[in-house]
Amino acid sequence: MYVELKAVLIAGSAAGGVVSAILAAGAWRDRSVPGAAPFGWLMTAALGWCLLNVVWLTTTDPAVASGVFVATRLTAGLIVGLWVVFALVYTGREAWLTPARIGALLLAPTSYAVLALTNPLHGLVTVEMVRLTQAGQTLFVGRTGPVYLAQNALSVALVGVGYGLFGEFLLRSRNLYRKQTFVILTAGLLTAGAQGLFVLGATPHPGLDVTPLTFAANGAIIGFALFRYDFVSVAPLAGDLLVDELPDPIFVLDDDDRVIDYNGAAATLFEADDIGGQRLEALSPGLLADVERDEPFAIGDPLSYYDPRTSELSDQYGTTRGRLVVLREVTGQQRRQERLETLQSATQQFIEASQPARVASLAVEFTTRVLDREAAVFLHTTDGTLDPTAVSDALDEHAPDGVSSIDPSATPDHPVWKTFEQNKQRVTTSDVAVWPLEQVLLLPLGEHGVFAIGLSDDRYETEEQHYAEILAHAAQAALEQIERERELRGSRTSVKRRNEQIEFFNGVLRHSLRNAMLVIQGRADHLRSEVDEANRDHVDSIRSWSERLTEMSQTIRDINDTVTASESERLEPVSLRAAVDGAVSAAPVDSEAVTVQTDVSPGDSVQANELIEKVILSVVENAIEHNTSDQPRVDIGTRDAGDWIQLRVADNGPGVSDELKTTMFERSMSPDQTAGGFGLYFVSVMMDLYGGKVWYEDNDPRGTVAILEFQRADPEAAEPTGVPAGQSSAEAQSKSPDD
């Protein structure tokens, strides 16, 4: 029996060596697998221990036994150090393994063997072999001391460190190798347990170490877990990665897009009890592309909308091993978005509608399509009834003669009429109206009518009611716009007719006035040669006033054209320098009595028309005529104001009171308060037509500054406008055609 036990140990050690060698070669071949390289070195050391154990069990030479004992202690220490290295690499702590630390891990547990080999140098450790027969077995036993015990204690501590690293890694929440780690820990306990029995002397013989026998089973289990059993592809992930109670489908894909874990909602989505191990594309064609597109998509019957969220799952080395996919259910959100987009489209079509009937049809159409409700729009007519202008098909088919009009004289308490009359929405039952539904939501459309939406049951969701109210408000706004446009068209027609009438009478007046002035001028010319020198001044005055009235007639015509023209017809780029020069030339200036100084850049152009010269002239004349200083002076310049140009006409006169500044440009001002001709009210009207402003400020140290603010124009498009220098207004007027 004892002989058989020794033979079994020898055979087991040899088998362990063979298995260790095979695993070491496999680890080298698959060294790209996480932890394979240190595992290969671990198996190489195990191979050496197995071979040494075979020699230990078969030798009878004390010298050989002594050498084997020391070599075994050295190999066992290397295995302990390599076990810790393997644990560090496998758990993703490779950065900790510097050359100095690796050397310490390998040297510390082999210290006893190193001291034994170098004993002649220091005499600290003596290896003595004793051949002992016990339990029918005769084997060598090494006599040890405190150094040997210290080495064993250190080895146990390092083995514990390795198990601690594996245990911590096993508990990590994102450990993709949880089952694999558990297998490695279990297999490692087999070898650790056998070594513990030997150290504690629990074996049949103190020289009998069964640890090498465990390397065959231990190495086979760990190697299978590392290289053959792909836990990441077929084993479920840790439970804390998935929350099965969540209503959103959640599943995990490996790098081959196979489902390796999922929750109940995912199984329900795919209508299958078990989807593990199946390719995602096989479960639902096109779903993988939808997930990778990372945009909301629809799936199922009835359709549900999902917003995919994908997270990569990586191992302790940072290598991507799969994807966690969460399909967030957004059906309600997607439908709300679609409804809002449809309402936006409806609003645009409402704006483009030109007839109330078209607005009513659009409201019913969008209600049936977006809210999936039946609807009708009642519009108020000129005879005082509410007519069903637009009705959905289901409602129209339900009533034998169609949905009827509502006459308040016949049914004053009808809920549709009450809604219109009180301008207040309500929900009413179907027994008071012709509806194939239980309830009706009535929404007032102001003075235009009522929007009625049928309910399919006794409830109406707040969100749907909100959409219905938005649609009703949009319809009401469209109806009001159509009404305003109708009134505006009427107003435009009336204004156009009034302008034509004014233009006709103004034309008659100007024509008659011009003819009369020509007659007066002719008679004045005839009389001038018949009167004596003393009376010729009276004739010249008649002729001068005739010319002024003729010029004023033409100016009135230009003003009338400006007032009635559109902005694009009214405004054009005008050279401000040319307009100022023309106004100064036409002003009644006595160069000896009044000094007029201008400083306007030739490049300044403004938005105006040919009347700008007369506008400036009115302001300049006002500054001259009301200047009572001993040395009257008028300075005309410009100031930049961004998109505007300010023309500043400053005088050194007596100034203007603050009260008068606010009324200078009003129509109530008399000519003697402003200037001759059209006065400052004309300036105010024209500046308003130009889109500009005019006001007065105090001049420093004395006088007033009139400020005309014009819109800036493109200087390249401007042409000199106004009366050229040296030419009188009367001369320019005489050359312009009359109507």
The residue with tokens 């993988």 is 288
Residue range 455-467: mean pLDDT, rounded:
65
- What is the C-alpha end-to-end distance of the chain, expressed in Å? 144
Query: Does one domain contain both 37 and 63?
Result: yes
Q: Count of CB atoms within 10 A of residue 648's CB? A: 17
Residue 241's pLDDT band (cuts 50, 70, 90):
very low
Residue 38's pLDDT band (cuts 50, 70, 90):
confident
- Residue 698: the pLDDT is 93
The amino acid at residue 658 is D
Residue range 387-403: mean pLDDT, rounded:
75
Query: Does one domain contain both 57 and 204?
Result: yes
Query: Does one domain contain both 208 and 258?
Result: no
Helices (H), 30-145: 36-58, 62-90, 99-107, 111-117, 119-122
Question: pLDDT digits over 648-699, tens only?
Answer: 999 999 988 888 888 877 765 454 444 444 678 889 888 988 999 999 999 9
Query: Does one domain contain both 215 and 289?
Result: no
Give a yes or no: residue 580 inside a domain: yes
CATH code, 723: 3.30.565.10
- Classify residue 356 as exposed, middle or buried by CB count within 10 Å of its CB (0-12, 13-18, 19+): buried
644 pLDDT higher than 80:
yes
**DSSP annotation of 96:** G
The amino acid at residue 24 is A
Query: Does one domain contain both 606 and 717?
Result: yes
525 pLDDT higher than 90:
no
- Residue 226: the pLDDT is 62
- Residue 378: the pLDDT is 92
Mean pLDDT for the chain overall = 78
Q: Which residues neighbour 244 within 8 Å (Cβ) at sequence distance 6 or greater?
A: 263, 264
- Residue 215: the pLDDT is 67
Query: Does one domain contain both 600 and 717?
Result: yes
Alpha carbon distance 478, 651 (integer Å) = 55
Q: Which two tokens stand for residue 571?
A: 């405004």
Query: Does one domain contain both 188 and 266?
Result: no
- Classify residue 576 as exposed, middle or buried by CB count within 10 Å of its CB (0-12, 13-18, 19+): buried
- Residue 240: the pLDDT is 42
Query: Does one domain contain both 274 and 167?
Result: no
Of the candidates 312, 329, 346, which is a domain's last residue? 329
Give a yes or no: residue 265 inside a domain: yes
User: Is the CB of residue 599 less than 8 Å from the CB of residue 559?
Assistant: no
Query: Does one domain contain both 243 and 192?
Result: no
User: Is the CB of residue 49 less than 8 Å from the CB of residue 75?
Assistant: yes
Domain residues for the domain of 10 are 2-229
The total domain count for the chain is 3
3 state SS for 500-529: HHHHHHHHHHHHHHHHHHHHHHHHHHHHHC
Give a yes or no: residue 78 inside a domain: yes
- Classify residue 694 as exposed, middle or buried by CB count within 10 Å of its CB (0-12, 13-18, 19+): buried
Residue 50's pLDDT band (cuts 50, 70, 90):
confident
User: Is the CB of residue 695 less than 8 Å from the CB of residue 708?
Assistant: no
The larger pLDDT score, comparing residue 697 to residue 528, is at 697
CATH code, 22: 1.20.1070.10
The larger pLDDT score, comparing residue 454 to residue 499, is at 454
Query: Does one domain contain both 297 and 322?
Result: yes
Output the CA–CA distances (angstroms, integers) from residue 89 to 21, 37, 169, 705, in the order listed: 21, 9, 11, 89
The larger pLDDT score, comparing residue 618 to residue 526, is at 618
**DSSP annotation of 91:** T
The larger pLDDT score, comparing residue 279 to residue 33, is at 279
Beta bridge partners of 254: 322
In three-state secondary structure terms, 304 is: strand
Give a yes or no: residue 415 inside a domain: no
Most confident of 276-285, 377-386, 404-413, 708-717: 377-386
Of the candidates 180, 212, 229, which is a domain's last residue? 229
138 pLDDT higher than 70:
yes
- Residue 735: the pLDDT is 39
Residue range 331-339: mean pLDDT, rounded:
63
To the nearest whole percent, how much of the chain has pLDDT over 70?
Answer: 77
Question: Can you spell out the DSSP letters for 199-226?
Answer: HTT-SSSTT---HHHHHHHHHHHHHIII
Alpha carbon distance 253, 311 (integer Å) = 10
- Residue 732: the pLDDT is 39
CATH code, 252: 3.30.450.20
Residue range 174-184: mean pLDDT, rounded:
66
Question: pLDDT digits over 698-733, tens only?
Answer: 998 899 999 999 999 876 655 544 433 333 333 334
Of the candidates 229, 251, 280, which is a domain's last residue? 229
218: nearest Cα among 31, 5, 45: 45
The larger pLDDT score, comparing residue 200 to residue 721, is at 200
Residue 334's pLDDT band (cuts 50, 70, 90):
low
Residue 142's pLDDT band (cuts 50, 70, 90):
confident
Give a yes or no: residue 618 inside a domain: yes
Query: Does one domain contain both 617 and 679?
Result: yes
- Classify residue 625 as exposed, middle or buried by CB count within 10 Å of its CB (0-12, 13-18, 19+): middle
- Classify residue 296 as exposed, middle or buried by CB count within 10 Å of its CB (0-12, 13-18, 19+): middle
Q: Flag the least confident range among 114-128, 349-363, 513-527, 531-545.
A: 114-128
439: nearest Cα among 412, 468, 410, 411: 468
624: nearest Cα among 594, 654, 669: 594
Give a yes or no: residue 475 inside a domain: no
Alpha carbon distance 360, 378 (integer Å) = 8
Measured in residues, the chain has a length of 739
User: Is the CB of residue 130 less than 8 Å from the CB of residue 144?
Assistant: no
Q: Residue 624 CA to chain centroid, in angstroms? A: 63
265 pLDDT higher than 50:
yes
Query: Does one domain contain both 45 and 135?
Result: yes
- Residue 232: the pLDDT is 36
